[in-house]
Amino acid sequence: MFSAEDERLHAQGVQVIARCVIPGRKSRDAMLQLLDGAGQPRLQLQVTPKGEATLSFLDEHGDAVRVISAEQL
């Protein structure tokens, strides 16, 4: 999952963005998260089993600071 360059930089104490996408599920919802350089989720796409989709902007603690749904477009 990590390139040789990522491993080299990590050994020097440099934060690298190697793991930036986490596809998965939260409860029954399909979810995709993009992480910042510290590995914290900052952007989240989520779709419920009923097909309701949201885009959430997350702060440094992972809390949603803005959520956009299809109805808001």
Residue at 9 is within a domain: no
Write the pLDDT tens digit of every residue in 42-65.
Answer: 999 988 888 899 999 999 999 999
Predicted local confidence at residue 16, as pLDDT: 62
Residue at 3 is within a domain: no
Spatial contact of 1 and 18, defined as CB atoms under 8 Å apart:
yes
Average pLDDT, the chain: 80
Q: Is the pLDDT of residue 13 over 90?
A: no
Predicted local confidence at residue 20, as pLDDT: 47
Predicted local confidence at residue 55, as pLDDT: 96
Q: Does an H or E element contain 6, and which? A: helix 4-11
Print the domain residue range for 29.
Answer: 18-72
Specify which residues 33 forms β-bridges with: 22, 44
Residue at 11 is within a domain: no
Q: What are phi and psi of 64, to 5 degrees?
A: -70, 125
